[in-house]
A and B are shown apart, each in its own frame.
Chain A
Amino acid sequence: MNFLVPPSRDAAVRMLRTVLYADRLRAGRMRPPVGLIKNDIRSLLELERLLAPEPHGLPGLDFAAAAAWVERELGDPELAGLVRREAARDVSYVDRCLGIHTVVALRLAQAREAAGDDPSNGKEA
């Protein structure tokens, strides 16, 4: 079950921040025939968009690194725990991406609500 305690406003602001380039999460996309292309992640929103299903490629993500990054950079051990739980499921890589997408999208919506952020605005607090 995907349950995340709604964050406080302060925690939400941190969850929604854009981290420095140096603190980014390394990631990519498999986009044949171009190949594997960089898609580094600097915010929760970008992580959600990387993992969102689309017909033209697959997200490239190291799940352990993603969980550690969520914990370290976004200060969200609870989400990191759910990312680890989804990553440990005995299903395909794509299904694990989808599972992680679900919890990341849930957290994004909660954080936006708590921070009073406009969900239609891609720019984070």
Chain B
Amino acid sequence: MIQHGYAGKILRLDLTTRTVSTIDTAKYRRWGGGHGLGSALFWDLCKDKTITDGRHPANVCIVATSPFCGTIVPSGGGRSEVVGVGVGQDPVNWFTRSGFGGRFSTMLKYAGWDAVVIEGKADKPVWVDIRNRKVTIRDASTLWGKDTWATQIDIWNRVGVPRGVKNRWKDINDTVDDAMSAATDQGRTTQKPAVLTIGPAGENQTAGGCLLHDAGNGAGQGGFGAVWGSKNLKAISVLGTGSITVADPTALLKARVVMKQKYSSDVDRPDFHAWTKLGGPPKPLFMTASPTEDRRPQACQGCTSGCRARFSVGYGNESTCQETAWYIAAIRRVAKSAQEVSEVNMKAADIVQKYGFNSFLFQTGLHWLEHLHEIGEMGPGKRIPSSLPWEKYGTLEFAETLVHALSHRQDIGKDLAEGWVQAARKWGREKDLHDGTLQFSYWGMAEHGYDPRAELEWGYGSILGDRDCNEHCFNVIFTNVNAAFAYAIPMRLEAKELVDIVAGKLSPYAKGRPEVLDFGDGNMYSEAVAQLVRWHRHYTRFWKQSALLCDLKWPEFYNTNAPGNEGASGSSDAGEQVFWNAVTGDRLTFEDGVELGRRIWNLDNAIWTLQGRHRDMVHFAPYVYETKYEKGELFPFYMWPCRDEKGEWAYTDVMGRALDKKKFDQWKTIFYGLEGWDPKTGWPTRKTLEKMDMAFVADGLQAAGRLGAEG
């Protein structure tokens, strides 16, 4: 039977025995795709779910697609999800996730696969060569040691698709052998394979090890590069010639046209200050001045926006967002001109891409290293021995020396390879975790830029989960409002109007309850905020991480291009469920998707429970409780809609406070109660799981003696 939106098979690789097998996707259809599919596969296939180091051979890593991949769903067709036990977190490497964009997921589906399951450990370095349904595990001894870009070029050459595709076809002597592709699949392509690979940081199994695809699509958090390194897996290459059937192409096209006509900026009269996530004019997201105006937009397959670029100068290609800012404060110190700032910045981005190194560790970590050097703790002959050339801090040479050391476990990289919080303890710098000199806020991960003391849903969601959540659902409120304050321009939406529109989208738990958005001092430990965090956890687990809608674009609560300022999310003409149903033929409601997210979130919590999680562990780094988020520390104000003593809504500064550890702990009890989890332990209960048709999970927890007690 054709399953619209799906390729139909899951590829299972056992690297220990070097065998390849398949699983029918139909068995896992209830989990949707992406993260849900990955969690379910992990549950079934990981034989020891108590492991707490992603480098353990029992770890199972899954790279998964969604029904949207390979279709024209706007900002949803080209992303992949990665799950498994991670590396580099503290105090436990949880079962965690990461994601990346590009064209890997689409190519995987065109080759006939919905996901790849990686089990075991090869005795020698290998890479996996997928050409449609033909899968070969190959020797990677001559790839090992190469950076991520050189590896991909080498594999492109080996697979034999000529660079420059004009009039050149590659016959891959195989077709995707099922009904859905039969009409269109000729087994030929002009495309080069999509390759997902690790660089030196992954080979050396460091906490910064990423997976990298093309020039700049990285799965950074979670240390999955180290997971692959431990499995001796250098790369997966995939070339596909098939296609994906869509249940209702007319409906899909119609929704996409609505997205353009109703929700997007008018190209002839663009509103550059519109408050919208989906409807803004395409804009690259590099965090520095463009090194040249001679550039082309670059995007994940199917994206309507395109947050990256390729430049005629030949550097900075496909880098975006944080990796284009990890070194900028240092560069500004020594560069001779703005042009040099831009050039070094984008070349520093290239460095982390090539080493396959997660630059987010530097977000707050680089300042800490500089501090340790400055106070004489780190350096030649110092307590933390290091020969890093700090006198060259801010130069490209220093950037490469630092990333090289950290990627090769050299110098301070030896200690940082196991995690930065672990290194702080080893170096006797525990106090830095208390006074905020090292701001790694949640599970040993760097603070993102939305401080948990101000932006509650980000912080609470991260610590209740498994990592810096990196989910840009609500923080757009901060961005829009703060920018309007900074420029003293009129608010596109006043606080009351904004919270009413947003709350209207928070179905089912928080629909019509604007108070859930009040992050004021009097509401920050409330049942209302717990409902918001629940909605956020469940929405993202399905619509973002399983359906794989892009985090930068979805959800869209408000849109000042659209009538009534209502955003596309949940709408009947271009909501998430409209695209899902058009592609799959399902009749899912928006709320059904959130409910599916709740199931996946519960499955994840069951895995964390088996790994050893208990509510007492669920706490932020000490500085979040012990120091205030000072005004002016990073910015002079952090404006957010809050109610005043009369209950009137106004944009209010939420800086200047710490979290109260005791109150946060009490708030967790409210949260666990709402989730139907045992408030004493934070573990899922049988009743809750069975209501979601997950008795098998309850059985697993019970067998391990870790089933939550019923209330």
Using CB atoms and an 8 Å cutoff, list the residues of chain A in contact with chain B.
Answer: 18, 20-22, 26-40, 42-43, 45-46, 49-50, 52, 54-58, 60-63, 65, 91-95, 120-123
Residues B448 and A56 in contact, CB atoms below 8 Å apart: no
What are 28 sample pairs from A and B whose C-beta atoms fall under 8 A apart? A21-B374, A21-B375, A26-B634, A28-B633, A29-B634, A30-B635, A31-B449, A32-B476, A32-B483, A33-B475, A34-B322, A34-B325, A35-B475, A36-B451, A37-B325, A38-B329, A38-B364, A38-B634, A42-B333, A46-B333, A56-B287, A60-B634, A62-B636, A92-B487, A92-B489, A93-B636, A122-B334, A122-B335
Contacting A at CB under 8 A, from B307-348, are: 321-322, 325, 328-329, 332-338, 341
A74 to B347, CA, bound (A): 33
Query: In the complex, which of the residues A26, A31, A43 contacts B287, with contact meaning CB atoms closer than 8 Å?
Result: A31
Contacts of B450 in A (CB 8 A): 35-36
Residues B371 and A21 in contact, CB atoms below 8 Å apart: yes
Contacts of B363 in A (CB 8 A): 34, 37
Residues B485 and A32 in contact, CB atoms below 8 Å apart: no
Closest A residue by C-beta to B482: A30
Q: Given A32-B479, A36-B451, A39-B329, does the pair A58, B486 have CB atoms closer than 8 Å?
A: yes
A95 to B630, CA, bound (A): 23
Q: Given A35-B475, A123-B334, does the pair A92, B486 have CB atoms closer than 8 Å?
A: yes
A50 to B634, CA, bound (A): 12
Residues B332 and A33 in contact, CB atoms below 8 Å apart: no
Contacts of A49 in B (CB 8 A): 332, 341
What's the least CB distance linking B582 to chain A, in Å?
A: 28
Size class of the contact patch on chain B: 35 or more
Closest B residue by C-beta to A33: B472
A22 to B370, CA, bound (A): 11
- Residue among B287, B367, B483 having the largest count of chain A Cβ atoms under 10 Å: B287
What's the least CB distance linking A65 to chain B, in Å?
A: 5
A56 to B479, CA, bound (A): 13
Q: Given A34-B322, A34-B325, does the pair A94, B630 have CB atoms closer than 8 Å?
A: no
Closest A residue by C-beta to B288: A56
Q: Given A30-B482, A34-B287, does the pair A62, B631 have CB atoms closer than 8 Å?
A: yes
Contacts of A50 in B (CB 8 A): 332
Query: In the complex, which of the residues A18, A22, A33, A46 contacts B552, with contact meaning CB atoms closer than 8 Å?
Result: A33
Closest A residue by C-beta to B364: A38
A90 to B59, CA, bound (A): 60
Residues B485 and A37 in contact, CB atoms below 8 Å apart: no
Query: In the complex, which of the residues A45, A52, A61 contacts B632, with contact meaning CB atoms closer than 8 Å?
Result: A61
Contacts of A36 in B (CB 8 A): 449-451, 634-635, 638
Contacts of B703 in A (CB 8 A): none
Q: B286 contacts the other chain (Cβ, under 8 Å)?
A: yes
A-B CB proximity, top 4 nearest: A35-B449, A62-B632, A28-B634, A92-B488
What's the least CB distance linking B270 to chain A, in Å?
A: 15
Closest B residue by C-beta to A91: B488
Given contacts A30-B635, A34-B363, A60-B632, 14 further A-B contacts (CB under 8 A): A21-B371, A26-B632, A28-B634, A30-B486, A32-B476, A35-B448, A37-B329, A38-B367, A39-B332, A46-B332, A57-B287, A58-B486, A61-B632, A95-B488
Q: B45 contacts the other chain (Cβ, under 8 Å)?
A: no
Closest B residue by C-beta to A39: B329
Contacts of B288 in A (CB 8 A): 54, 56
Contacts of B374 in A (CB 8 A): 20-22
Q: B617 contacts the other chain (Cβ, under 8 Å)?
A: no
Q: B285 contacts the other chain (Cβ, under 8 Å)?
A: yes
Contacts of A121 in B (CB 8 A): 336
Residues A26 and B371 in contact, CB atoms below 8 Å apart: no
Closest A residue by C-beta to B439: A38
Residues B375 and A22 in contact, CB atoms below 8 Å apart: yes
Contacts of A120 in B (CB 8 A): 336-337
Q: B289 contacts the other chain (Cβ, under 8 Å)?
A: yes
A61 to B370, CA, bound (A): 21
A34 to B446, CA, bound (A): 12
Residues A60 and B636 in contact, CB atoms below 8 Å apart: yes
Contacts of A55 in B (CB 8 A): 289
Residues B552 and A28 in contact, CB atoms below 8 Å apart: no
Contacts of B487 in A (CB 8 A): 92-94
Q: Given A20-B374, A35-B449, A36-B635, does the pair A122, B486 have CB atoms closer than 8 Å?
A: no
Closest A residue by C-beta to B450: A35
